[in-house]
Amino acid sequence: MLEELKKEVYEANMLLLQYDLVTFTWGNVSGIDREKGLFVIKPSGVEYGQLAPSDMTVVDLEGNRIEGRYRPSSDTATHAVLYRRFPEIGGVVHTHSVWATSWAQAGRDIPCYGTTHADYIYGEVPCVRELTPKEIDEDYEKNTGRLIADEFSLRNIGYLATPAVLCRNHGPFAWGKNAGEAVYHAAVLEKVARMAALCEWINPGNEPASQNLQDKHYYRKHGEDAYYGQRK
């Protein structure tokens, strides 16, 4: 079942190691088949070096295991909520990468200090609040997903233009049109998180890049009249 998607998700999980985004088993990638209403995700607590495509777990949008010898990631319910609430995404990734997680633990949005950030992420990367004790006890992982989606709605943030979020005292999630692009965005997030931290260390009073500059860099790459790269 979903053998091609399993391979895609497996390869995306391996990219987490290549891009130095995970330590031990601290992360997971998933990818969805929208037509079937099923997604594939890394199994819980299994070392990356022990994995094969056939080890990926198939679940439905309620988080029920449909196929696989391993239990799915403990973050499966968060992925499921994001797939339901963000209908145009095809892949989700969660890591505990050092720099992005440091911003999450500090409880801060990541400001857009320059064009590297603006090329890939529109505006600041939001940091959502910590879950309440009731939310944690009731359904921690599902409520994490709900909180992310609700925050994007509350702040009127476009989830395609801003494909990443920080969860306070936890870590980052990122997404994309497929599993590979989700990891790509997670790697970008880690780089801009590091740049922003270093920027504030060098100049504690630094201000974000002007909105004109941010818009120029984002829309020349992603807008209707984008001209970055080669025409197809």
* Residues 56, 99: Cα–Cα separation, whole Å: 28
* Catalytic pick among 33, 109, 119, 139: 119
Q: What is the pTM of this model?
A: 0.96
Q: Which CATH number fits domain 3-222: 3.30.70.1050, 3.30.465.10, 2.130.10.30, 3.40.225.10?
A: 3.40.225.10
Average pLDDT over residues 138-146: 98
pLDDT above 80 for 19: yes
Catalytic status, residue 228: yes
Average pLDDT over residues 138-167: 98
* Catalytic pick among 20, 137, 150, 228: 228
Q: What is the pLDDT of residue 231?
A: 73
Q: Residue 39 is inside which H or E element, if any?
A: strand 38-41
Catalytic status, residue 122: no
pLDDT of 29-70, one tens digit each? 999 999 999 999 999 999 999 999 999 999 999 999 999 999
Q: What is the pLDDT of residue 113?
A: 98
Q: Kindly report each contact of residues 24-29 with a partner whose C-beta sits within 8 Å and lies 24 or more positions away, as own/partner.
A: 26/95, 26/96, 27/93, 27/94, 27/95, 27/96, 27/97, 28/73, 28/75, 28/79, 28/93, 28/94, 29/91, 29/92, 29/93, 29/179, 29/182, 29/183
Residue ranges per domain, the chain? 3-222
**Element counts in the chain: helices (H) and strands (E):** 7, 8
Tokens of residue 16, six digits: 């987490």
